[in-house]
Amino acid sequence: MRLPKYVWALVPAVVLLGLVLLFAIGLQHDPRVVPSPLIGKPAPGFDLRIVGAQTPFRRDDLLGRPVLVNFFASWCAACRDEHPLLLDLARRGVEIVGMDYKDTDADGLLWLERHGSPYRTVVADPEGRAGLDWGVYGVPETYVLDAQGTIVYKQIGPLDEQTWRSKIAPLMAAGSVLQTGSR
Amino acid sequence: MIPELGHFALLAALAVAVLQFAVPLLGVWRGQARWMDVGASAAQAQFVLVLLAYLCLTWAFVERDWSVVYVAANSHSQLPLIYRISAVWGAHEGSMLLWMLMLTGWAAAVSVFSRSLPRDVRAQALAVLGALSVGFLLFILLTSNPFDRHFPVPEDGRDLNPLLQDPGLVIHPPLLYMGYVGFSVAFAFAITALLSGRLDTAWARWTRPWTTAAWLSLTLGITLGSWWAYHELGWGGWWFWDPVENASFMPWLVGTALIHSLAVTEKRGLLKSWTVLLAIVAFALSLLGTFLVRSGVLVSVHAFATDPARGVFILTFLAVVLGIAFSLYAWRAPRFVSEGELQIFSREGLLLLNNVFLVIAAAAVLIGTLYPLVVDAFNLGKISVGPPYFNAVFLPLTAPLALLIGFAGVVGWKQARVREVLRRVRWPLAIALVAGLAMPWLLQRRFELAAAGGAFLALWTLTMAFEEPWRRWRARRAAGLAQIPRAIWGQSLAHFGLGLWVLGVTFTSLYSIERDVRLAAGQSVDLLDYRFELQRVEPFAGPNYDADRATVEVSRDGASIAKLEPEKRLYRAQRNVMTEAAVDHSPLRDLYVALAEPLGNGEWSLRIYVKPMMRLVWLGGVLMALGGGLAASDRRYRLASAAARRVPATDGVPA
Amino acid sequence: MRTFSGMRSVICAVLLAAAAIGSASAQGDELTPQQAERYQKLVNELRCLVCQNQSIADSSAPLAADLREQVLHQIQSGRSDAEIADYVTARYGDFVLYRPPFKASTWLLWLGPFALLLLALGVAVVFVRRRVRPAPVSPPDAARNAERLRRLLDEGSREERR
C-alpha cells in the first residue's frame, strides 16, 4: 500500500484510457446483433408442411447438400430489401428454402407471386414454432446449413452481397461446387 | 428566417465561447485584470445568444414550421401547444440545444453570483466552462444542427413520440439536464484548483452550494423520470436499471459522495485531492452518460436514434476533456496536503466511509452497465446484465449506508465519544428495532425478514434525521429550533427523505402483487382485499389520438373506493399504440390498472397491481431535493461571498 | 432518464398493434400460487430480443408472447426453472438472461464490485491509520487566508445571532 502518491493520482487517467479504448471498440460493434448459440450444432428438428399444400416437410428434407434456410414473412418490410439478392442467388443455383414465418398461406403466396420466388421450397410456419426452436427473433434471418444439416452461419437481418461473398459463399462452396460472385 | 436567426445565434455563441475560454486564461497568465473580467461578460452574452437560438427553435415548433427537418420529425399539426413547446427537447438535436442552454445558464449564474470570488479563480472557472461550451456547440453545429431545412416541405409533421406526450416529460428533461450539466460548475472549480494549486476551505465553501444545486436538480429529474416511467410505460415498474437510467444514476451517486466530501474539506481541510477527484468524476459520468445514450454502443429502451458520427465526436470530446482533467490531476493532486488528523470514529471518518460505499456503488452500476460491452469487445459473446444483477449487487453495497446515515448528526467532528453517541442513539435504535420488526406484520400480515430489515433501516434513518432538532427543542424549545442553521435543516430533511425512500422501496418491492387477467365487461377479479371490476370499455377521442377507455371499479368489502380509467391510445399521426395506466394512490398503497390487449368477443387482458407504499419512493426523492435546496441556501454561503470580498484577492499567477 | 425513446420502441409499439392476434397473456387460473410466482419471476428475468431492453413480461412483441406461453406450458408440465432457462438459452444464448450466469467470463462482473469494496475499505483504513498522527505541516499562504476567512465568518455569524 505504500505506493508513492503520484501512482495513486495516475489511477483515474488509466481508467479513463481503458474506458475510451473499450468505447472505441464498442462503436464498431452492433449491439443489436445477438449471435446464435446454434452455430456448429445440428439444425433443430421440425415437422411442418409446404405452403398452400399438405405435403409434409421435415428437417431430414434439408440434408444431403448445403442449403440456405431463409425465414421471411409477407408482413416483413425488411424482407423486401434482401429479396432481389435472394432471387439472384437462386438464379445462380443456390438452393434456398423459405420459411414463411407467422404468416397465412394466402398472404405468403400472394407476396411471392408479386415479388417473385427465390425459394425451391416454401415451408409454412404459421405459429412460428420452428422459428422459436431455431432462435429466430426478427425476420428476415438466414441460416446456412451444410450437407449434414449443421448450422454453419446465421445472418440476422437482410442479407447483402458483401456478406454473401465474404462469409456465406465460401461456406457453401466447401460443401459443393457453385458459381459464386461473378457479377 | 427565424430558424436561420437561431443558427446564426449559435455560430455567434461559438465565437463568444472561444473568447470566454481564451481571454480570461491569457489574462490570468499575463496578470491582466481586465482580460480576466472578459469571462463574465462573455458568459452572459453567450447565455443570451443560446437562449435566442432556443427561442427560435421553440418559435418554429409553435408556428409548425415543417420546413425545419427537426420540427417536421417531432411535431404534428394536431399536437397540443404545451407539447409543441416541450417537443423542442423531444429528440437528439433539440435536447442538445437544451443542454447548451443549461450549460450557458450555469456559466452565466457563476458570472453573476461569484463576483466576490478572487478574480483569477472566477476567470479560470469561467474559462473552463467556456471550453466546454466550445465543444458542445461544435457538436451541435457539426453533427446535430436542429435548424437544418429540407425541401420539399412536407404537408404535416411526423408527430412527437407519444411516450413524450405526458406532463411528466414536460419538466423531467430540463431538471435532469440542469443536474447533469450543473456538475460542470464543480468540475470547473476543480480544474481551477488544480491549475492554481489553491485548494483550501474557502474553495470548498464556493463549490458546495453549486454542487448541491446541481445535485438537487438531478435528484428531482431522476425522481420525475421514475414517476413518468411508472405511469406512462404501463409496466408498473419505477426503475428498470436500463442504461439510460444508470447514466443518470451514476453521476447522482458520485454527486452525493461529493456533497459529503466537500463538507469534510470545508470543515476539516481533509480529503482535498479526493474531493477534487470526485468533482471531476461526477461531471465525467455526466459526459459518459451522454455518450452512452447518444452513441448507440448500448441497447436501451430509450436511447436516441443514433448516428455513429455523433458517437465518435462525443467520444473524442470526452477523451480530450477528461484526458486533460485527469492528467492535470495526476500532475497536481499529489501536492495538495491535507492538514489535520483523521479518526475513524468522527464525523469525517464516517463521511469517508460514506464516500467509499457511494463510490463503490457507482462503480458497481458502471461495471454492470458496461460489462456487456466488455464481453463483446473480447468476442466472448453477448450477455445481458439486468435488474436481477443490479438488485443483488447494489443492495449489500448500499445497506451499510443506511446504517451510517443515522449517525450523521450525533457523531462530532474530530473525535467523538462513544458513550455520548450511544446515549443519544439508544432510544431511536430501540424504536427502530421494535417498530421495524412489527411493521411487516402490522401492515402486510406477512412477515419477511428482508422487510423487517428494510423497515428497521428506514425507521432508524427517519428517527435519527430529526434527532438534532429534537434535542434542541427539548433544551430550549422554539429558541433552540431557531438556532439551527438552514444547512442542518436541509441535512435532516434530505436524510428523512432517504428514510422514506428506503421504506417505500422495501415494501413496494417485497409486497407488490401483480396479476395479468382476462376480463369481459361485468367480470371482476380479487387481489388481496380489493375487487377490481371491469365495468365497460368505450371508445374515446383525444386531440390527436383515439382511445379505448376502460372503467374499472375498485371496491373493498363491498364499498367502492376508486374508479380507474386506463386507456389504450392510438396516436393518429404515426399509428402508435400507447398504454395509459390509471392509478389510485394513497400513502400506503397504489392500485394500478393498465389495459393490455383486446382478446376478442369483448374480453380484454389487463394488468393489475397492488403496490404498497409506492408513493414514498417519489416523496422521498422530492424531500431529498428540498433538503438540498435548504442546504444550498444556507446563510453561510452568502456570508462566505461577503467575507471573501473583504479578503484581498491574491492576484496569483498559476504556478 | 427514460426520455426520448428512439425509433426502436416506436417499432415495438407498432408491432403491438399488429400482433394482438394470439397473445393472450392472461395467465391461466390453473397455476398454483407457487407456480404463478415462478412464472412472474421467470418472465421478468428473461429478456425479449425484439424490443431489446425489455423483459418478456413487459414486451408486447409477438416473440415475447410466444416465450411467455412456452414458460407457462413448461411450468405446467413440471419443468424446473433451470430447465426452462436452459431451453431458452439453447435457442437464444445467454443474452436472454437478465441474470447473467456465473462463469469464467462473468467472474469480474459478479465479484468485481465486492473486490473493489474490500480494496477501497483497505485503502481507507490505511489512509486513516496514517492520518492519526499528522505530520507537522506549516500552513501555506492559502491555508492562512482560509483561516482568516473562517475567523471573519465566525465573527459575522456571532454578530447575526445576537
Using one digit for the tens of pLDDT, what is the confidence trace for B31-69?
Answer: 999 999 999 999 999 999 999 999 999 999 999 999 999
Exposure class string for B149-182: b at 16+ Cβ within 10 A, else e: beeeeeeebebbbbbbbbebbbebbbbbbbbbbb
Please tell me the least confidently modeled range out of B319-328, B331-340, C3-12.
C3-12
Q: How many residues does chain C have?
A: 162
Best A6, A8, A16 member to test B by mutation, with max B CBs in 10 Å, is A16
Q: In this complex, is the C-beta atom of A104 within 8 Å of any C-beta atom belonging to chain C?
A: no
In chain B, positions 510-529, which contact chain C (CB-CB < 8 Å)? 514-518
Beta-ladder partners of B538: B549
From the list B288, B311, B301, B271, the residue with the least C-alpha distance to B365 is B288
**Weakest-pLDDT range from B315-324, B600-609, B610-619:** B600-609
Buried b (16+ CB within 10 A) or exposed e, B35-58: bbbbbbebbbbbbebbbbbbbbbb
Residues in contact with C130: Cβ distance below 8 Å, sequence separation at least 6, in sequence order: none
Q: How far off is chain B from A147, nearest CA to CA, in Å?
A: 27
Q: Does A19 touch chain B (CB under 8 A)?
A: yes
Interatomic CA distance for residues A129 and A138, integer angstroms: 14
The reported pLDDT for the residue numbered A6 is 77
Average pLDDT of the residues of chain B: 90
Q: Quote the CA–CA distance of B491 and A36 in Å, as a whole number.
A: 52
pLDDT grade for C139, boundaries at 50, 70 and 90: very low
Coil, strand or helix at A68: strand
Span B416-458, pLDDT tens digits = 888 889 988 999 999 999 999 999 999 888 899 999 999 999 9
Nearest CA in chain C to A31: C52
**CA-CA distance, A14 to B583, in Å (whole number)?**
48
Q: Which residues of A touch B326 (CB under 8 A)?
A: 12-13, 16
Closest-CA residue to A92 (of A62, A113, A120, A59) = A120
- Chain C partners within 8 Å of B650 (Cβ): 141, 145
Q: How confident is the model at residue A7 (pLDDT cuts 50, 70, 90)?
A: confident
The answer to whether the Cβ–Cβ distance between C116 and B248 falls below 8 Å is: no
Minimal CA separation from A102 to chain C, in Å: 9
The rounded radius of gyration (Å) of the Cα atoms in chain A is 22
**Which residues in chain C are contacts of A133 at CB distance < 8 A?**
91
Q: What is the pLDDT of residue A27?
A: 87
Range scoring the smallest mean pLDDT among B628-637, C9-18, C28-37: C9-18
Give the pLDDT score at C150: 62
Cell of A23: 468505447
Does residue C25 have a pLDDT over 50?
no
Tell me the chain A residues in contact with residue C91 when contact means C-beta distances shorter than 8 Å. Answer: 37-38, 132-135
Q: Which of B237, B240, B133 is nearest to B188 (CA)?
A: B133
Alpha carbon of residue A81 to chain centroid: 14
Cell of B546: 383515439
pLDDT at res. B415: 81
pLDDT band of residue B598 (cuts 50, 70, 90) is: confident
Q: Least CB-CB distance to B377: which of A10, A26, A34?
A: A26
Tell which of A137, A143, A151 to mutate to test the C interface (max C CBs under 10 Å).
A137
C41-80 burial string, b = 16+ CB within 10 Å, else e? ebbbbbbbbbbbbbbbbbbbbbbbbbbbbbbbebbeeeee
Lowest mean pLDDT among A3-17, A49-63, B110-124, B447-461: A3-17
B230 chain-C contacts, CB cut-off 8 A: none
Indicate the residue of A1, A132, A138 with minimum beta-carbon distance to C66.
A132
> For the segment B506-558, what is each residue's pLDDT rounded down to a tens digit?
999 999 988 888 999 999 999 888 999 999 999 999 888 999 999 999 999 98
Predicted local confidence at residue B59, as pLDDT: 96
Q: Which residues of A touch C90 (CB under 8 A)?
A: 37-38
Q: Distances in Å between the alpha carbon of B293 and those of A53, A101, A152, B317, C100?
A: 49, 33, 35, 15, 23
Alpha-carbon Rg of chain C, whole angstroms?
A: 29
Closest Cα partner for B291 from B321, B257, B329? B321
**Residue B303, pLDDT score:** 57
- Compute the mean pLDDT over every residue in chain C, rounded to the nearest whole number: 73
Is there a contact between C98 and B389 if contact means CB atoms under 8 Å apart? yes
Q: Which residues of C touch A36 (CB under 8 A)?
A: 92-93
* pLDDT over threshold 60, residue C8: no
User: CA dist B23 to B18, B44, B131, Å?
Assistant: 8, 15, 11
The x, y and z cell numbers of residue B192, run together, are 481551477
Q: What is the pLDDT of residues B347-357, one digit of tens each?
A: 999 999 999 99
A25 CB within 8 Å of a chain B CB: yes
Helices (H), chain A: 5-26, 78-91, 105-115, 129-134, 161-163, 169-173
Picking from A107, A132, A133, A154 by the largest number of C CB atoms within 10 A of its own CB, the best residue to mutate is A132
Reduce the secondary structure of B587-636 to three states and give it as a string: CCEEEEEEEEEEEECCEEEEEEEEEECHHHHHHHHHHHHHHHHHHHCCHH
Gap between the Cα atoms of B638 and B648, Å rounded: 17
| pLDDT beyond 80 at B643 | no
Q: Side-chain half-sphere of B561: how many Cα atoms within 13 Å?
A: 16
What pLDDT shows up at residue B305?
60
The reported pLDDT for the residue numbered C142 is 53
CB contact C95 to A (< 8 Å): yes
Give the number of other Cβ atoms within 10 Å of residue B492's Cβ: 23
**What was the pLDDT predicted at A50?**
93
Nearest to B606 by CA among B508, B522, B515: B515
- The helix (H) or strand (E) run that includes residue A144 is strand A141-145
Cross-chain Cβ contact C93/A1 below 8 Å: no
Of the listed ranges B203-217, B292-306, B344-358, B478-492, the least confidently predicted one is B292-306
Give the position of cell 428531482: B220
State the Cα–Cα distance between residues C31 and A154, nearest whole angstrom: 37
Q: Does residue B140 or residue B635 have the better pLDDT?
A: B140
> Residue written as cell 418491492?
B509
Residue A31 C-alpha, separation from nearest chain C C-alpha, in angstroms: 10
The residues facing B592 across adjacent strands are B583, B609
Contact criterion met (CB below 8 Å) for A153 and A143: yes
Assign C138 a pLDDT band (cuts: 50, 70, 90).
very low
Contact: C149, B305; criterion CB under 8 Å: no
CA distance B292 to B365: 13
In a 3-state reduction of DSSP, which class is residue A127? coil
Q: Residue A140, preceding bond cis, omega within 30 degrees?
A: yes
Q: What percent of chain B has pLDDT over 70?
A: 96
For chain C, say whether A18 makes contact (Cβ under 8 Å).
no
What is the total residue count of chain A? Answer: 183
Nearest of B129, B231, B259, B132 to residue B172 by alpha carbon: B231
- Range with the poorest average pLDDT among B47-61, B198-212, B630-644: B630-644
The residue among C144 and A172 whose pLDDT is bigger is: A172
* Residues of chain A positioned with their CB less than 8 A from the CB of B291: 23
* pLDDT at residue B161 greater than cutoff 60: yes
B585 secondary structure, DSSP code: E
Residues 6+ apart with CB under 8 A from C78: none
Dist. CA B160–CA B147, nearest whole Å: 17
Contacts 24+ apart (CB under 8 A), C152-157: C152/B643, C152/B646, C152/B647, C153/B636, C153/B639, C153/B640, C153/B643, C156/B639, C156/B642, C156/B643, C157/B635, C157/B636, C157/B639
**Gap from C88 CA to chain A (nearest CA, Å):** 9
Q: Is B95 on the interface with C (CB under 8 A)?
A: yes
* Strands A67-72 and A96-101, bridge-based pairing: parallel
Cell 463521511: give the residue: B351
Question: In the predicted model, what is the mean pLDDT of residues B181-206?
Answer: 93
Give the model confidence (pLDDT) of B74-102 as tens digits: 999 999 999 999 999 988 999 999 999 99
- CA dist., res. B368 & res. C109, Å (int): 7
CB B350 within 8 A of CB A34: no
Instruction: Return all residues near B123 (Cβ < 8 A) that are at least 6 apart.
Output: B24, B25, B27, B28, B35, B36, B37, B39
Can you tell me the distance from the alpha carbon of B147 to that of B14, in angstroms, rounded to the nearest whole number? 16
CB contact under 8 A, C123 and A138: no
**Taking 80 as the threshold, does the pLDDT of residue C19 lie above it?**
no
State the smallest CA–CA distance between residue B80 and chain C in angstroms.
18
Question: Which grid cell sits at B483?
Answer: 438556532
Residues B128 and B192 sit within 8 Å (Cβ to Cβ) = yes
Neighbours of chain A (3+ CB pairs under 8 A): B, C
B173/C contact by beta carbon, under 8 A: yes
pLDDT computed for residue B502 by the predictor: 95
What is the per-residue pLDDT for B464? Answer: 93
Instruction: Tell me the per-residue pLDDT of B223-275, one tens digit each, with 9 for 90 and over.
Output: 999 998 888 776 778 899 999 899 999 999 999 999 999 999 998 888 999 99
* Average pLDDT value for residue range C61-73: 89
Residue-level length of chain B: 655
Which chain A positions have a beta carbon within 8 Å of B334's beta carbon? 5-6, 8-9
pLDDT at A34 (0 to 100): 84
B606-623: average pLDDT: 94
- CA dist A160 and A140 (Å) reads 12
Interface of C with A in 129-158 (CB under 8 A): none
Residue B586 phi/psi, 5-degree rounding, is -140, 170
For chain B positions 431-460, those within 8 Å of chain C (CB to CB) are none
Pairing of strands B559-564, B576-580: unpaired
Cβ(C47)–Cβ(C54) below 8 Å: yes
What are the strands, taking DSSP E only, across B422-529?
Answer: 513-520, 524-527
Q: Does B462 touch chain C (CB under 8 A)?
A: no
For chain B, say whether A12 makes contact (Cβ under 8 Å).
Answer: yes
Q: What pLDDT does C129 receive?
A: 83
What's the Rg (C-alpha) of chain B? 26
Q: What is the pLDDT of residue C65?
A: 87
pLDDT single digits (tens) C100-128: 999 999 999 999 999 999 999 999 988 88
C-alpha to C-alpha distance for B466 and B459, rounded to whole angstroms: 12
Which of C94, C128, C142 is opposite residue B383, by nearest beta carbon? Answer: C94
Confidence check: pLDDT of C49 > 70: yes
